[in-house]
A and B are shown apart, each in its own frame.
Chain A
């Protein structure tokens, strides 16, 4: 059986993050009052405590904050090795997303590498993965 990724249960708070990829958008919750980006998405701004928050499409450009090369298959059929990385988004200061770096030999990934979001659809979820920026 082909390996399938574990997926999130979608709800009104996280749906934009997980489905924005259908329109090619990485949507990060943002405070409409003080413009702070809030991730993981929630209903209130941790900076000014406003509840005037809404998803906001960012460019999807970022850089590798840090990473690991994962060699252990945690579930049957999981292909290894692959890179798990914390990605810091260029236009969402303070936001870190843990994701995978795909399309690049694992040994070529480094801290500070410029990356760009790409989406992998599985069922009703568009997973934001990252690849080396052109």
Chain B
């Protein structure tokens, strides 16, 4: 592929990340966009595309309070291509769509964003009603009548399978939360989420939510907006940041429903990713793996081929391998367990920060060049490979 049609991340933006913020979600989104534009050295007039996940939510607004339509209207973006939809292979599929448009020449600089307002909504139920209504349709009907309200129940069952089949222990699984917390402490944007570094004792003595998940295996509702600007290779002369190439993309689903025999799309997506790049798993310097629940990250390690299926818990045992100074630093911004439920986009943001060498106190050593970021991992999964090459 010619360089002109390659896709690069050229701008990073992140709003205040908080719990029960009062700043409106539209303004959080604009905060993040302004930061990303300044980072890239672009103006809003140079933006000609918008991509978001999952578009503005209807009926459960806090899940996605700002959509592409509204953003284009409010900021007066002259869009030559845009998309915002939830029927995709999880959150980071919004970047895959934007990269596709750039490769086709439909757009040159695309704002990709994800805004969440799930924590603020909890204290303002009159403005943001609960999604739990007395009667439900669609996929929800197969879970809510059985009091399986949370993905902690759905994903927890796969974690339990690892406990029973492969002998995964709580002490092993804890390493995701402990690693995330140790990294989050060094991330100023995680300060509202992680105030004190988690210890093994904290973890082991915390209350159970959905066994084998305890409180610290579950991410926390957060209010924030995350932005990445994607640019075409032949538009890099217009930006001032260090461009990081989106070097490979994959997103798969088998069936959409959680009630299927084999559920973990992280496995199929992980394999698929390596078909779209000359890099191999051995080239990867850091991984930023979806951890809405700790176990998601374990399945991603297995799915991407860092270890065989069933070996993920032993791969992370003791935590040294996935620490910032280990052979495969994981979730260096704190992930969603440590830095809040940015819902997928935070992983791509951090992968780029690390490859640029601009991650501050949490920067990993030895000039990392290749990073993986993922989202989802259950029935739907997306994996992105980033490279400084």
Contact = CB atoms under 8 A, between A and B. Distances in A.
Interface of A: 4-9, 14, 39-40, 46, 65-72, 74-75, 78, 82, 84-86, 88, 94, 96-100, 110-111, 125, 127, 129
Given A86-B157, A96-B261, A98-B258, A111 B135 contact: no
B257 interface: yes
B146 A100 contact: yes
A40 to B, nearest CB: 6
Interface in B218-274: 255, 257-261
Contacts of A94: 261
Interface string B133-154: 1111100011111111110111
Nearest to A111: B164
Contacts of A88: 261
Interface string B158-174: 11110011000000000
Contacts of B146: 5, 84, 98-100, 127, 129
A70 B159 CA distance: 13
Contacts of B259: 39-40, 86, 96-98
Q: Is the interface of A mostly helix, strand, loop or mixed?
A: strand
B209 A98 contact: no
Interface of B: 132-137, 141-150, 152-154, 156-161, 164-165, 207-213, 255, 257-261
Contacts of A66: 157-158, 160-161, 164
A14 B153 contact: no
Given A6-B134, A6-B144, A67-B160, A72 B211 contact: no
Contacts of B159: 68
A9 B213 CA distance: 31
Contacts of A125: 145
22 contacts: A4-B134, A5-B147, A6-B136, A7-B145, A40-B257, A46-B255, A66-B158, A66-B161, A67-B160, A69-B211, A70-B153, A71-B209, A82-B147, A84-B148, A86-B157, A88-B261, A96-B259, A98-B142, A99-B146, A100-B147, A111-B165, A127-B146
A14 B137 CA distance: 10
B136 A8 contact: yes
Nearest to B159: A68
B179 to A, nearest CB: 23
Most buried by B among A4, A84, A111, A127: A84
Nearest to B162: A66
A74 B157 contact: no
A117 B147 CA distance: 17
B259 to A, nearest CB: 5
Given A66-B161, A67-B157, A75-B132, A5 B150 contact: no
A75 B145 contact: no
B207 A71 contact: yes
Given A6-B135, A9-B137, A97-B259, A68 B153 contact: yes
Nearest to A83: B211
Most buried by B among A4, A6, A69: A6
A104 B146 CA distance: 16
Given A8-B136, A40-B257, A94-B261, A75 B158 contact: no
A67 B157 CA distance: 5
Contacts of B135: 6-9
